[in-house]
Amino acid sequence: MNHFAQIASLLEAYHIDAILLTGEANRFYASGFHSSGTDGAALVTREKNYYFTDARYTEAAGRRIQNAELREVGPGHGYTARLKEVIQEQSIQKMGYEDACMTVREYETYRKALPCELVPAAELPAQLRRVKDREELEAMTAAQRIAERALEDILKEIRPGVTEKEIAARLQYLMLHYGASDMSFDPIVVSGPNGSLPHGVPSEREIRSGEFVTMDFGCIYHGYCSDMTRTVAVGSATEEMRNVYETVLAAQKAGIAAAGAGVTGRAVDSAARKVIDAAGYGAYFAHSFGHGVGVEIHESPNAAASNDKPLPAGAVISAEPGIYLPGRLGVRIEDVIRLTEDGCENLTRAPKALLVL
């Protein structure tokens, strides 16, 4: 799976002859080959595609990358030298670059070394990545199923005395065991009063009876992320706990019902927020309803109050409202949905009714 052709098709519209992709996510999106950090660069021109990397990755890249010429970098022929060769071969005058992630130092290095004009063009791959094609959707769905299998198993292990760290570690093992290549992010596992920390870090705290445990986790499969959150009660749940949980669930359902192609991110967020506001918990829902998911765990488009633009058909976003009562408890429920012309498709199958273990 690669997207060289789709990227090349937009070069004319962006008034550039080529685009240089140095960021890890867009390199992968273009080529279908993953290497970490700054170990690689993809160049898409109107006529031909190129991938540059060093000897550590040459063989692996050659096995994976299709529809691109592979050129090896090394002492005496680094990235700028290899790029200069192609610029001259292809008579490139204007080259797009990823202004959203390229450092100032990197930009200055390329600007001084390359015989062409550098044009900010981060929006080009971002535009394409907002809408998932069939192969991308299949990878994301597979990643979601892996995470759900891990959830099924971990629910059997949550009990008083087990620590947040132990659950987080087991989730990671289980997802790798079921086929993931990596985690979408470090799992969030928080219990009791730690649940009020939306992005709390798993600690040595032991789970106790009568508390919530919130688990936010996901994995990567064929380069694409899954993301989900489930909150469960251990032993018993108070009336307040049940009320908070049902409010969050109702808010999530309202946001999902409002979601669809052509609806603004603000409108989706508002649909969920109104439910939480009406229940008196508005001050305790501080983040947005959802974010785009794909090659990266957080990408465009967002279902947020700040996004007044229509969401496109084919976008995949999270649906994750929450209520966080400082120092007491927290609840978040998260699914991942694909937007369609008629509404949305929920890619998450895991049950959401309050579970008391």
Number of neighbours of residue 178 by Cβ within 10 angstroms: 16
Q: Is the pLDDT of residue 157 over 90?
A: yes
Pairwise CA distance, residues 60 & 3, whole Å: 18
What pLDDT does residue 38 have? Answer: 80
Q: Average the pLDDT over 170-196 and give the result.
A: 98
**341-350: pLDDT as tens digits:** 999 999 999 9
Q: Average the pLDDT over 31-36 and give the result.
A: 92
Residue 322 identity (one-letter amino acid): G
How does residue 37 score in pLDDT terms, banded at 50, 70 and 90?
confident
Domain limits of the chain?
4-129, 134-346
Q: Is the pLDDT of residue 41 over 90?
A: yes
Q: Strands across the sheet with 188-191, in order?
A: 188-191, 211-217, 228-234
**196-239: pLDDT as tens digits:** 999 999 999 999 999 999 999 999 999 999 999 999 999 999 99
Q: Report the b/e string of 246-274 with b at 16+ CB within 10 A.
A: ebbbbbbbbbbebbbbebbbbbbbbbbbe
Task: Tell me if 4-129 shares its fold with 134-346.
Answer: no
What pLDDT does residue 36 have? Answer: 83
Q: Average the pLDDT over 55-84 and give the result.
A: 94
Residue 116 φ/ψ, nearest 5 degrees = -155, 170
Pairwise CA distance, residues 39 & 54, whole Å: 7
Q: Is the pLDDT of residue 39 over 90?
A: no
**What are the angstrom distances between the C-alpha of 280 and each of 243, 273, 274, 284?**
11, 11, 10, 9
Q: Average the pLDDT over 266-290 and give the result.
A: 98
Average pLDDT, the chain: 97
What pLDDT does residue 201 have? Answer: 97
- Whether 213 contacts 158, CB under 8 Å: yes
Pairwise CA distance, residues 195 & 322, whole Å: 10
Highest CATH level, class, for 134-346:
alpha beta
Q: Average the pLDDT over 273-289 and give the result.
A: 97
**101-137: pLDDT as tens digits:** 999 999 999 999 999 999 999 999 999 999 999 999 9
Residue 215 φ/ψ, nearest 5 degrees = -125, 115
- Whether 232 contacts 155, CB under 8 Å: yes
Q: What is the DSSP string of 58-94?
A: HHHHHHH--SSEEEE-BTTB-HHHHHHHHHHHHT--E
Number of neighbours of residue 96 by Cβ within 10 angstroms: 26
Q: Average the pLDDT over 29-40 and give the result.
A: 91
Q: Average the pLDDT over 134-154 and give the result.
A: 98
Bridge partner residues of 224 (DSSP): 221
Any idea which architecture 4-129 has in CATH? 3-Layer(aba) Sandwich (3.40)
Share of the chain above pLDDT 90, in %: 98
Pairwise CA distance, residues 129 & 26, whole Å: 9
**327-336: pLDDT as tens digits:** 999 999 999 9
